[in-house]
């Protein structure tokens, strides 16, 4: 999980380098579009959002659509463990 957060930081701090790597490794051929996309993504916003609220919101929508039978609270109670995320958030504050 740390690798994902480190990659997030690299993309935010050096989008030109990441764009070049994406082109070199064949993930895209459109250098300009990839660079613009990387510059426009708001990388730091994940730290401002509450993950439990996000799960609750989307679980409710899926329940209303009949795609899942569990309630948002049941999903939060039985299927989530926020310890790792909370630890990483506190380590990566800034």
User: Is 72:63 a contact under the CB 8 Å cutoff?
Assistant: yes
Clarify whether residues 1 and 42 are in a common domain. Answer: yes
Q: Are residues 31 and 59 in the same domain?
A: no
- Please check whether residue 89 is in contact with residue 6, taking contact to mean a CB–CB distance below 8 angstroms: no
Number of structural domains (the chain) is 2
Range of the domain at 9: 1-47
Q: What is the pLDDT of residues 28-81, one digit of tens each?
A: 999 999 999 999 988 777 667 788 888 899 999 999 999 999 988 898 888 888
pLDDT of the residue at 59: 92
Q: Is the Cα torsion angle 58, 52, 82, 13 positive or negative in sign?
A: positive
Tell me, yes or no, if the pTM score tops 0.95: no
Residues 17 and 36 in one domain: yes
- Whether 90 and 54 map to the same domain: the answer is yes
- Of 37, 13, 7, give the one whose Cα is nearest residue 28: 37
Contact in structure between 53 and 42 (CB atoms under 8 Å): no
- The count of C-alpha atoms lying within 13 angstroms of the C-alpha of 85, restricted to the half-sphere facing its C-beta, is 10
Dihedral-angle region of residue 93 (phi above 0 means left; psi in -120 to 50 means alpha; beta otherwise): beta
């Amino acid at each position: 999980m740390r690798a994902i957060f480190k990659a997030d930081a690299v993309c935010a701090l050096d989008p030109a380098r990441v764009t070049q790597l994406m082109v070199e490794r064949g993930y895209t051929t459109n250098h300009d579009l990839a660079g613009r996309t990387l510059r426009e993504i708001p990388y730091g916003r994940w730290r401002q959002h509450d993950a439990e609220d996000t799960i609750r919101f989307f679980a409710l929508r899926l329940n209303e659509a009949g795609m899942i039978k569990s309630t948002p609270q049941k999903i939060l109670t039985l299927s989530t463990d926020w310890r790792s995320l909370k630890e990483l958030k506190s380590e990566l504050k800034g």
